[in-house]
């Protein structure tokens, strides 16, 4: 074992020595005309080079695996038997040099993981009774408070208990922009405080943090095999022994030992074995760099075949936060009336009321009036006394209860808002309607364009399933040009609809928030969570979009299709190379050394082809601002 580790550690030096000996051997033959010296030098070069190859072959054989190294080792022994020391030296050198180049280029396909690992926080400033103390991040426990200053990394997942600052969350979401964090806001390990300071109470530490889970997830994903990889693994188990048998048959019928040995060299399936995994590693790494976590090669394969996308509405297609979209005014002092409405709704925690309060804050309407008295009417709204004015604010039932009527203009405005799927709140002062609010859950930015891009990429059907009312759901569906919409659904009814789509022969991806929609996510062919790293999102889904943005969904779908296409290209290159070598051998144009050169070249070709995925962008991506972890860490 120690010897094997020694050889692995010094393989590059062995390759260099072999190359130098080959050059010296050639100089000895062609400049000094010293044939014996030439043969001795190349024999020594062959022996030095074949040792690490033979050790790896023996290690594989002990595990009942017929490896490429076994074919090369047998070929070198055969070359020694027939006295072709130049062939054996060149073959072993090319094999070692090819392995070196292969390992170097493969490292580039894992740059996303290395980038993540390099960004892992290692220390934390722990707040103690005596002040602060610098500790290892593994020594922080749940409930501890840590201090994070400008330019430092957040070492834990937690809640802000003091301070104010702007965080760059690119390590979590892939989006390089600053987000303001204040008291009671959640923060994630691995993010960077760009400005300000925060004291954070740890809720998750060590391997339980979102950042650690992301690293673990992507590393596991890169090791999870696709169907193509699994097939090639099974194929390779029989292919290598088959090549050995073929070489024996060639010798048995031709009595040409050199030809049999050459068959062994040409039969090395290197490009075929490496072609599929390197594509998946590069594709998954591309996604990780952009905050898209794809759980393995099999997910890549299935997602590429998806033809039906099913969406939850609230928190997925929409922001998940109610907001005032329209305000009709029937007064000359709209700002004062809005301030009055906000003051009254400020005593309530109803989502519609909070939307009005937020809207008034955005409009900067000034000082709120003093309320003398308020009373809530369940299912209707709020009554208030403001000085001598009697104010009611709520729904139509509230107006009816107070004998307040809408004039034709107001009634039309109200009907138009409701027909558009918006919730409505009406405010009347002393029996006269002053304001009508249209409140809705706003659609996420860029959703409509993203859905169109998904259609262009091959998605055939877009379906929305929601528990909201029919009018609201239909309004969203109409705006986004969805193919189907089904409203008033319970979670179990969404699951049944997903199963129905699958039974009809569709390959279905369900996109939800990863919490309420977990059953549907789990039952779809591909479950996609729109979420900033929630535990349920990571655990339940096949794909997690850390940015919760639809442009990343477009990229994820396009990336999986391109990765599958790239894998097929690599398999074609590998098979074409073997065919080329066999034809060249039959017609006498390919020999042992030249065959090994072509073989190693084909491995590099499939690696370089896969590396194109590292910087892959869809057409839609090129129209969007560049927001990646690379930008954040540049």
Per the DSSP assignment, residues forming a β-bridge with 202 are: 158
**Strand order from edge to edge, sheet including 432-443:** 318-329, 432-443, 423-429, 389-394, 381-386, 373-377
pLDDT digits (tens, 9 = 90+) for 172-194: 654 556 788 888 888 888 888 88
Q: Are 607 and 629 in contact (CB under 8 A)?
A: no
Burial of 411 (0-12, 13-18, 19+ CB in 10 A): middle
**Dihedral class, residue 221 (left if φ above 0, else alpha if ψ from -120 to 50, else beta):** alpha
Contact 479, 422 (CB under 8 A): no
User: Does residue 623 contact residue 291 with C-beta atoms inside 8 Å?
Assistant: no
Residues 476 and 235: their CA atoms lie apart, in Å, by 50
Convert 217-236 to b/e letters by CB count within 10 Å (16 or more is b): bbbebbebbbebbeebeeeb
| Beta carbons of 571 and 228 less than 8 angstroms apart | yes
Residue 116 backbone zone (phi > 0: left; psi -120 to 50: alpha; other: beta): alpha
Which tokens hold the place of 500? Answer: 């129905």
**C-alpha distances in angstroms, 272 versus 228, 279, 394, 577, 602?**
11, 12, 69, 9, 9
Say which residues have a Cβ less than 8 Å from residue 416's Cβ, sequence separation at least 6. none
Cα(184)–Cα(158) distance, integer angstroms = 9
Distance from C-alpha of 316 to C-alpha of 328, rounded to nearest angstrom: 29
Give the active site residue among 157, 312, 513, 542: 312
Number of H helices, E strands in the chain: 24, 20
d(CA 251, CA 254): 5
What's the pLDDT at 216?
67
> 447, exposed or middle or buried, with CB in 10 Å at 0-12, 13-18, 19+?
buried
Distance CA 486, CA 473 (A): 8
pLDDT at res. 219: 59
Nearest to 202 by CA among 283, 131, 144: 144
> How far is residue 241 from each of residues 245, 262, 264, 487, 521, measured CA to CA in Å?
6, 15, 10, 59, 43
Show the low-confidence residues of the chain (pLDDT under 70). Answer: 1-9, 29-36, 98, 101-119, 170-177, 213-237, 268-270, 320, 366, 468-469, 514-516, 531-540, 625-634
Q: Which pLDDT does position 159 carry in this prediction? A: 92
Indicate if 312 belongs to the active site: yes
Contact criterion met (CB below 8 Å) for 114 and 183: no
| Exposed/middle/buried for residue 206 (C-beta within 10 Å: 0-12, 13-18, 19+) | middle
The DSSP code sequence of 131-186 is: EEEEEEGGG--TT-EEEE-TT-B--SEEEEEEEEEEEE-HHHHS---EEEE-TT-E
Q: Which structure tokens are listed for 195?
A: 């400005």
Sequence-distant (6+) residues with CB within 8 A of 125 are: 132, 133, 134, 135, 146, 147, 148, 149, 152
Each residue of 384-393: b (16+ CB within 10 Å) or e?
Answer: bebeeeebbb
pLDDT in tens, 578-596: 888 888 887 878 777 787 7
Rounded Cα distance, 302 and 227, in Å = 10
503 CB neighbour count, 10 Å cutoff: 8
Q: Supply the pLDDT for residue 627.
A: 44
Q: Tokens 């759980």 map to which residue? A: 295
pLDDT at 632: 35
Q: pTM value?
A: 0.66
Q: Can you read off the two tokens belonging to residue 227?
A: 């169907």
d(CA 465, CA 305): 21
H/E element holding 531?
A: none
Angle between helical axes of 550-586 and 227-254 (0-180°, round to 10):
0
**Under a CB-based contact definition with an 8 Å cutoff, are residues 465 and 489 in contact?**
yes
């Amino acid at each position: 074992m120690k010897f094997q580790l020694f050889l692995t550690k010094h393989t590059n030096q062995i390759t260099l020595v072999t190359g130098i000996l080959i050059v010296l051997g050639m100089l000895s033959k062609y400049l000094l005309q010293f044939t014996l010296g030439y043969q001795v030098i190349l024999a020594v070069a062959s022996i030095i080079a074949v040792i690490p190859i033979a050790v790896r072959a023996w290690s594989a054989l002990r595990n009942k695996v017929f490896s490429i190294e076994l074919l090369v080792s047998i070929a070198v022994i055969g070359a020694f038997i027939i006295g072709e020391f130049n062939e054996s030296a060149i073959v072993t050198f090319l094999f070692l040099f090819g392995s070196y180049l292969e390992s170097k280029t493969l490292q580039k396909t894992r740059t996303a993981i290395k980038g993540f690992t390099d960004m892992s926080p290692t220390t934390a400033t722990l707040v103690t009774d005596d002040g602060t103390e610098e500790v290892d991040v593994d020594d922080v426990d749940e409930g501890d408070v840590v201090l994070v200053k400008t330019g430092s990394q957040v070492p834990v997942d937690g809640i802000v208990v003091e301070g104010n600052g702007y965080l760059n969350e690119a390590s979590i979401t892939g989006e390089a922009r600053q987000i303001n964090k204040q008291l009671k806001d959640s923060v994630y390990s691995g993010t960077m405080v760009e400005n300000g300071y925060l004291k954070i109470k740890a809720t998750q530490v060590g391997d339980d943090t979102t950042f650690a889970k992301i690293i673990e997830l992507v590393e596991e994903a890169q090791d999870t095999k696709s169907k193509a990889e699994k097939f090639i693994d099974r194929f390779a188990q029989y292919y290598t022994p088959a090549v050995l048998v073929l070489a024996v048959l060639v010798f048995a019928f031709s009595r040409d030992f050199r030809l049999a040995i050459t068959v062994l060299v040409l039969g090395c399936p290197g490009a075929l074995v490496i072609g599929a995994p390197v594509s998946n590693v590069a594709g998954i790494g591309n996604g990780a760099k952009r905050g898209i976590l794809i759980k393995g090669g099999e997910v890549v394969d299935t997602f590429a075949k998806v033809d039906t996308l099913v969406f939850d509405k609230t928190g997925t297609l929409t922001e998940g936060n109610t907001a005032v979209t329209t305000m009709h005014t029937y007064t000359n002092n709209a700002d004062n009336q809005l301030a009055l409405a906000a003051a009254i709704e400020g005593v309530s925690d109803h989502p519609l009321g909070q939307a009005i309060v937020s809207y008034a804050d955005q409009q900067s309407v000034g000082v709120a009036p003093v309320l003398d008295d308020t009373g809530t009417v369940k299912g209707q709204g709020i009554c208030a006394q403001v000085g001598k004015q009697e104010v009611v604010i709520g729904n139509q039932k509230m107006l009816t209860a107070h004998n307040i009527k809408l004039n034709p203009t107001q009634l039309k405005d109200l009907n138009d808002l409701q027909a558009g799927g918006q919730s409505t709140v009406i405010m009347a002062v002393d029996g006269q309607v002053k304001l009508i609010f249209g409140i809705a859950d706003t659609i996420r930015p860029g959703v409509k364009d993203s859905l169109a891009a998904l259609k262009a990429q091959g998605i055939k059907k877009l379906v929305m399933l929601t528990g909201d009312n029919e009018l609201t759901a239909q309004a969203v569906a109409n705006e986004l040009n969805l193919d189907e919409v089904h409203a008033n659904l319970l979670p179990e009814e969404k699951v049944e609809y997903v199963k129905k789509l699958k039974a009809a022969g569709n390959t279905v991806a369900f996109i939800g928030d990863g919490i309420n929609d977990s059953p549907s996510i789990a039952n779809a062919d591909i479950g996609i969570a729109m979420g900033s790293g929630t535990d349920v999102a990571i655990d339940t889904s096949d794909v997690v979009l850390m940015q919760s943005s639809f442009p990343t969904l477009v990229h994820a779908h396009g990336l999986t299709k391109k990765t599958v296409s790239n894998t097929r290209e690599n398999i074609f290159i590998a098979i074409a190379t073997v065919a080329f070598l066999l034809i060249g051998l039959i017609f006498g144009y390919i020999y042992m050394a030249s065959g090994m050169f072509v073989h190693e070249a084909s491995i590099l070709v499939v690696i370089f082809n896969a590396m194109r995925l590292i910087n892959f962008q869809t057409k839609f991506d090129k129209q969007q601002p560049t927001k990646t972890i690379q930008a954040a860490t540049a």
